[in-house]
Structure 1
């Protein structure tokens, strides 16, 4: 049976070149970066070179990059530092953020009395910029705005320039979960003034369990993990050298091939979309996932004109791997909190599936998926 993988927003296949880099590191570069002997110095040098190269791609300094175990830890590190280090007493976010942000905000509200305000979103999941300004203008509290750059379920692209402009106008800090951006879009943090971003290597064909947080220069960092002085005191724990080097290589490959990969995936997404509409003209696309300007080219969130609770399972049996929402909630019987927020009860009753693509996705795989959907919808 031919298997098809269309869940790349959840995780991606590791590039062969990345595996080679990691294998070489595991075999030959096994020193502890905190050790002062030659093996430790070699490992430390490799980690710092990776930090410099990653920083260069974002047009920031190496000292502003902190390696983490992934995007969730990076989000937590930033939000905790905003409260405990930068004296933030209010966070403005939305109800369609990743749970790494939403659940951390819940914790900070319940345990430390931090005020959490939610900006409105419309039926497409678009942030109400005017309401964001209202929220910012009606309080003198030290505020952090936390809004994701690209939504991991519906693919909406945030109007970052407008948000960053408002944050600057009202002296608020700006954090954006950029997990679905890094490796897929160019990001120059000198041109897009965001104070904090995050990345997770496995979203751009790197290894799982490694990512980074960006803290704009001038913000001190208090660690969440204690016990050592790694990452300049910002994160205790021996650095995952092999994964960091794999992430560096994956980022380098992604940046080098951005235009080619984007064109390839855009064509596949548009082809898939057109084939779905031919299949049934009542098919809808959640959020801005059906667009290429307001939505990312990597995600198509499809709402079918039927209620079929077994559709995901049936596709899986047919060898097609997709998602009904965020894969970070796999094993949960809860529906998508993002779709619940933006869809009506009637719309929510219909089955929605997130299809997400990568440079490895082929037209043949799209055709196989469409043929299986024909059988499920008839």
Structure 2
């Protein structure tokens, strides 16, 4: 089987969508698939740059930076190039992972060539508009996303909750493609005493960790508010923000006492997770939220909202704490309650979280993706 996967983001870029797509491609390649990844040029990369050895081909197009995220690019609508390439070397299926100009161009090229097209729903771009003072375009964005996905044979969402929500909004042929977690990379064994020391946590204090983009749509100010409430109960607690983004400089000016770890990758990121004690994640715009399962795999006690990954895997008061969806006061209350747990109670919660994460396999996710792709191809041929 030959798959052409079209995406605006891909490793080594650091975000949940990029990481997920990288895992899926690696898994399919190991299963004997022939893959072509179509993506925009990344920051500090040339369009004709030679890619490092990997188990799939790449077709890199020009791109422009996303507003507010200079490290991410929208690909140019290279429809003519894709049509010509796929006419000569036809894939069995085209999978569209992002709905930007490149994805739309790929959809049109595939339709003209009668190549089946599948898609995944990774990001609530329409909900982001509320956080960037462009709420008036949310209805148009929602209609745009629905129209793009309904031209595809199926739309795979990360959770059943999201698949049902999309179906209720008029999306056709929705299904589920979950996310896995690398429990070898993310592990309590990566805890680093020297790293914790560099965070200057006072005796009796705890490291309250957030990992992700430092951006409005991640509800980062609520994380800070929850931490401040926790620190009133235990002044030794220290907030550690791991990641970069458009809100970083504002936060540094407003909250100089917070530790800003910057963007981390690989084993370095795993050490930052495992060296924490409590993980706060207050975003209400997620389709999944990979960072939560990574924190759980690292043995942290997590506090997040009751939706997406939280609803899927967090069992309240057993392997983490859940707040009522989009209820800031309840989120702060749950975070404070988690902070009031004894060290032994946090250890038990973290151990239960780790056990849950050990049952979330990437192999199963790749197998599910493979089955969905084959089903679309078989249905088209039939």
TM category (shorter chain) comes to 0.3 to 0.5
User: Quick one: higher RCO (CA 8 Å, sep 6+), 1 or 2?
Assistant: 1
* TM-score, structure 2 normalization: 0.32
